[in-house]
Amino acid sequence: MKILVLALTALSVSFVNAVKNRMGGTVREFLQDLREQKNISSTQYTKIESHLPDTEDIEMGKHDFDLRVFLNTKDGIKLKKYINQQLEKGKISEKTRTYLGSLLNLDTYTPSTTSSGTAHAGYTDNGIVLYHNKISPCTGSSCGDGEIYNGIWGFVRTSPDGNSREYALQCHSSGLYIIDITDSEDSSKGVGKGMFVVQFIAMSGGNPWRDVAVYGNYAYVAGQASANLWVINLRSLSGGKPNGENSNPISSNDYKDRGYTNYGHTINAYDGILYLNTAGSTRGCTMLDLEANPFDPPKITDAGGGDCHDSFARKGVRVGNDSKDLLFRSDGYQGDYSVLDITNVRTTKSFTVISETASKSGTYSHYNYVDEDNKYMYTFDEFNSYDIGVVDLSDMTQPKNVNTFQWSGDVSEKNVRVHNGQV
């Protein structure tokens, strides 16, 4: 039996930020990238910019982009008409029109109200995840409304005698908390009972985007808003007798800032490759080689061509009669998902785009996951035009969108929506 696990998020909304602030940068930065890549001309850039609201072009805050008001304003209607005319005249591609429509909130917003799933909003007996306990390690004046937790992963340290301890690696807008959760107790015995912070590592930037991945005994932390990639050797964490609370067992020699500013909106590690997912319109996914040097991994290549809000890699996937290593890329404002052949990428330093799903206008391709049989991809939209999409991958060179459905709790839970998922 396959069970789809969903991650939900609560969103805040404001009109000014709805138009101006975007994932991975500002609206004008995305437009400038499109101009540099020659997807739009300088004349088109100037024309589009002249219709934007006259407000400060600032970084995105807390997913403040859901309101679709701009379309109904005088400038919004004119801008949509202009972009459509550019498409009709052959001066921009259909993909660029879709991209601009999603980026600037110019497409009609008609969320699905039905679900083809069977789980209602109050369903809790999923057989996989049950609430256990929680801890909020950040205390004091540094934990104001402008700082949040974002990104978490787990790590198990095993000692030579076979004992082990479990740790939560919790990202925060000011850095990374390493929390011992080995002896955590049920919440009925007290919030945070049995859990404690072993170490906090301060990092600049990352408000609010920071993420963490683990490969071997190393943790990799990256972010946006002027955040860099940090590499942390976790070998000093105990696998037997617990480290003390705030004991700081990891020395400064075992964690280093490796640069790559703003490259890590999300981050993944798989099969010796670290994927920095930029959520930026030109940089795409950057690959680093963990096998060559896990503490200071060299760059392999950039898998550009899409925003790369997130990515998912898998080895040995059948494509026709061949076995391929594939990267499934979520292309953000492009509204599609790409399948990349990254076989032998360490030696060739190159990749091939095998296929792309059909673009869905007015969506943001946020995340995807492929089932173990490599038959279906499950996609997740940021803008709530749909919650979950199903893509048929029986022919990896021609993926087909076969279904979309909405979580039935959208209405009852107000501003909560499906964000990520895994099978």
Quick one: three-class SS letters along the chain?
A: CCCCEEEEEECCCCHHHHHHEECCEEHHHHHHHHHHCCCCCHHHHHHHHHCCCCCCCCCCCCCCCCCCCHHHCHHHHHHHHHHHHHHHCCCCCHHHHHHHHHHCCCCCCCCCCCCCCCCCCCCCCCCCCCCCCCCCCCCCCCCCCCCCEEEEEEEEEECCCCCEEEEEEEEECCEEEEEECCCCCCHHHCCCCCCEEEEEEECCCCCCCEEEEEECCEEEEEECCCCCCEEEECCCCCCCCCCCCCCCCCCHHHEEECCCCCCCCEEEEECCEEEEECCCCCCCEEEEECCCCCCCCCEEEEECCCCCCEEEEEEEEEECCEEEEEEEEECECCCCEEEEECCCHHHHCCCEEEEECCCCCCCCEEEEEECCCCCEEEEEECCCCCCEEEEECCCCCCCEEEEEECCCCCCCCCCEEEEEEEC
Query: Is pLDDT larger for residue 233 or for residue 64?
Result: 233
* Lowest mean pLDDT across 49-53, 72-76, 86-90: 72-76
45 pLDDT band, cuts 50/70/90, is: very high
150 pLDDT band, cuts 50/70/90, is: confident
pLDDT for 362 equals 81
pLDDT > 90? residue 216: yes
For the stretch 280-310, pLDDT in tens is 766 789 999 999 999 999 999 999 877 899 9
130 pLDDT band, cuts 50/70/90, is: low
Residues 202-221: what's their mean pLDDT? Answer: 93
pLDDT for 207 equals 81
Query: In percent, how much of the chain has pLDDT > 90?
Result: 50
pLDDT > 60? residue 108: no
Give the global pTM: 0.81
Residues 190-215: what's their mean pLDDT? Answer: 91
Residues 126-139: what's their mean pLDDT? Answer: 72
pLDDT > 60? residue 2: no
pLDDT > 50? residue 197: yes
Query: Is pLDDT larger for residue 174 or for residue 2?
Result: 174
147 pLDDT band, cuts 50/70/90, is: low
Q: Which of 86-100, 209-223, 376-390 has the highest mean pLDDT?
A: 209-223
pLDDT > 50? residue 12: no
For the chain, the average pLDDT equals: 82
Query: Is pLDDT larger for residue 13 or for residue 336?
Result: 336
pLDDT > 50? residue 195: yes
pLDDT for 55 equals 57
pLDDT > 50? residue 329: yes
